[in-house]
Chain A
Amino acid sequence: MSDALPPRPAPEPSDHGAPYWAAATEHRLVLQHCPRCDRLQHFPRPWCTECLADDLDVVESSGRGTVYAATVVRRHPNPAFAARVPYVLALVDLDEGVRVMSNVVGCDPESVRVGQRVAVGFEPAADGTVVPVFAPADPGSP
């Protein structure tokens, strides 16, 4: 279905955001990590906001999380998103303890609930980029 839609706009990575988007093209969700504090932070920044260390690495996320907040977007000026309305914009609390903004796809938009379990998936965007999105997790899975 999504083949028929105009592509999502490509993310425009900052230097410190680039590892996140590069991993997404490999269908991996990674989070910025400070080895000194053993702490995750999102969105990625030039350094750890706790200790100022700038030798940060990334760790792979389980891709599982819980919907913290969700809205059904009904209108959008960008043709790529106008073609997708209604769609769900959500804040997802990953099990690793950081929050990301994304979409919840693969279900009736009006069925998405705060507190619902979701799992990461990946969708193509413009210029060969890939963005992590989420879909309802299988009922039996954690």
Chain B
Amino acid sequence: MAPLVFKTSGTGDPRPVGSIPATSATSDDPSPRAPQRTTLDTAIIGIGEVPPRRRSDGATTLDLVARVARDAMLDAHLRPTDVDGLLLSPTFTGAPLTVASMVADLLGLRPSYCDVVDVGGATATGMVWRAAAAIEAGVCRSVLCVLAEGADPRSGIHAPSWPALPNGQWERPYGSLGPNSGYALAASRHAYEFGTTDEQRAKVAVDQRTNACANPTSLFADTPITVDDVLGSPLVCDPLHLLEIVMPCFGATAFIVAPADVAAAGPHPPVVLRGFGEQITHSSLVSLPDLTRTGIVESAGRAYAAAGVTPADIDLVSAYDCYTITVILTLEDAGFCAKGQGGPFVADHDLTFAGDLPCNTHGGQLSYGQAGLAGGASHVTEAVVQLRGAGGARQVPDCRLALVNGNGGILAEQCTLVLERGGA
């Protein structure tokens, strides 16, 4: 046993330093724990959405929250008095303290669980399991989750940076563009290690645009694109072109998570949470050892293990797609192809709603639009729509099992869900 080493801290208290045995699991050990599932079946039973648009038409974040919350409750056939949990996205930059209870009061809720969730673009998927875990623990029964990006002067899109953060200190003097340059660095490394081409990445954007063209509520419903269009759009950060990058929008999404008995009383087939996993690997890019290997290896691995399924069982992939490279990394790390084969994989497979691996059938955020943190929620609601069989012209035939991945920061926060169509 290593000798105890004491040093004197500023308060004069002797403390052992260097004497703590290393027992924590490393990221090389993906599943050192029991499978993550709630023993009580929980399901997504109601959704509401204000689709992403470039112009806010003056709607504040609070306006949007109220609209989608009402829509989700109407969709689930619940009244405010039936909802006893509330999770909010942290879109209210500069919002007062206790914003969640303020919103609860506005909506007419008296929740026994009320919180703000922030795992970046993984916030929506992260809300689903947090809601399920709270229900499992008996804290509440019906949890309303709301994510919104409105026109408040200081909300999300216009939020000032915080230079004291490590990212500000170590990246700002070098002209980092945050996500744009960060994902470009990941794409450059992927191209170097595996030979991934611009054409392969562009195929992701093209297939998702095909999906968007079958979705009347998407931002780009009427404008199909080709690989040449993507490669002909301006380079923003090499190798990423403009059409490989999401467009910031205004919009909002809400959904309600509830236990099986509440779900069974609702008007729709319940969309049951079969498994989930979450993994945060870094914030600053210099802390991620391998830019081509994300925490999705762990988050999806845990979700599959809990659900007892494999990638071959999945009918729909709903993968956070802030950039084309994000989808390729997700398909690799969630096990749809081997590491490094994501480029050839997307080139050889049809990712449209009519294809052999339907992916981001609403158009993805690339073509549906990215309404701030609500953008990631569109991957959840699209999975709900498809699993209900309500996809209309873009419905995936016999869609029973979906993998949904949320991705935050620069590949930093990952939260994966396996969702299944429940009921008869």
Are A and B associated in one complex?
yes
* Interface, chain A (partner B; CB < 8 A): 8-14, 17, 36-37, 42-43, 51-55, 68-76, 78, 80-81, 84, 87, 89-91, 98-103, 110, 114-115, 125, 129, 131, 133
Residues of A within 8 A of B286 (CB): 42-43, 91, 98-101
Whether A71 contacts B184 in the complex (CB less than 8 A), given A55-B7, A114-B189, comes out as: yes
Whether A114 contacts B188 in the complex (CB less than 8 A), given A8-B173, A43-B286, A91-B286, comes out as: yes
Any A CB within 8 A of the CB of B237: yes
Any A CB within 8 A of the CB of B327: no
Residues of B within 8 A of A114 (CB): 188-189, 192
- By the criterion CB–CB under 8 Å, are B171 and A9 in contact? no
Residues of B within 8 A of A43 (CB): 166, 169-170, 284, 286
Nearest 9 A/B pairs, CB to CB? A71-B184, A81-B175, A114-B192, A72-B238, A69-B185, A69-B189, A51-B18, A71-B237, A99-B286
Q: Nearest chain B CB to A112's CB is how many angstroms away?
A: 10
- By the criterion CB–CB under 8 Å, are B185 and A11 in contact? no
Any A CB within 8 A of the CB of B285: yes
Q: Nearest chain B CB to A20's CB is how many angstroms away?
A: 9
Whether A101 contacts B169 in the complex (CB less than 8 A), given A14-B164, A114-B188, comes out as: no
A-contact 0/1 string along B168-196, CB 8 Å cutoff: 11111111110001001111110010000
- By the criterion CB–CB under 8 Å, are B163 and A70 in contact? no
Q: Nearest chain A CB to B233's CB is how many angstroms away?
A: 12
Whether A12 contacts B175 in the complex (CB less than 8 A), given A68-B189, A70-B185, comes out as: no
Query: Residue of A at shortest CB range from B176?
Result: A89
- By the criterion CB–CB under 8 Å, are B174 and A101 in contact? yes
**Which residue of the partner chain, among B166, B234, B236, B285, contacts A91 with CB atoms under 8 Å?**
B285
Whether A74 contacts B236 in the complex (CB less than 8 A), given A69-B186, A101-B176, comes out as: yes
- By the criterion CB–CB under 8 Å, are B173 and A9 in contact? yes
Whether A75 contacts B236 in the complex (CB less than 8 A), given A9-B173, A103-B175, comes out as: yes
- By the criterion CB–CB under 8 Å, are B237 and A69 in contact? no
**Which residue of the partner chain, among A51, A55, A69, contacts B188 with CB atoms under 8 Å?**
A69
Residues of A within 8 A of B171 (CB): 101
**Which residue of the partner chain, among B18, B169, B185, B189, contacts A89 with CB atoms under 8 Å?**
B185
- By the criterion CB–CB under 8 Å, are B164 and A12 in contact? yes
Whether A36 contacts B185 in the complex (CB less than 8 A), given A72-B235, A74-B234, comes out as: no
Residues of B within 8 A of A55 (CB): 7
In the bound assembly, the distance between CA atoms of A100 and B176 in angstroms comes to 12
Q: Nearest chain B CB to A61's CB is how many angstroms away?
A: 14
Residues of A within 8 A of B7 (CB): 53, 55
- By the criterion CB–CB under 8 Å, are A73 and B237 in contact? yes
Residues of A within 8 A of B177 (CB): 73, 76, 89
In the bound assembly, the distance between CA atoms of A91 and B188 in angstroms comes to 11
Residues of B within 8 A of A87 (CB): 175
Any A CB within 8 A of the CB of B131: no
Any A CB within 8 A of the CB of B291: yes
From B164, B168, B170, name the one whose CB has the most chain A CB atoms within 10 angstroms.
B170
In the bound assembly, the distance between CA atoms of A43 and B285 in angstroms comes to 10
Residues of A within 8 A of B168 (CB): 12
- By the criterion CB–CB under 8 Å, are B175 and A36 in contact? no
Query: Residue of A at shortest CB range from B292?
Result: A69
- By the criterion CB–CB under 8 Å, are A37 and B169 in contact? no
- By the criterion CB–CB under 8 Å, are B173 and A91 in contact? no
In the bound assembly, the distance between CA atoms of A55 and B407 in angstroms comes to 36
Any A CB within 8 A of the CB of B97: no
Whether A73 contacts B189 in the complex (CB less than 8 A), given A8-B173, A11-B172, comes out as: no
Among B231-288, those with CB < 8 Å from A are 234-240, 284-286
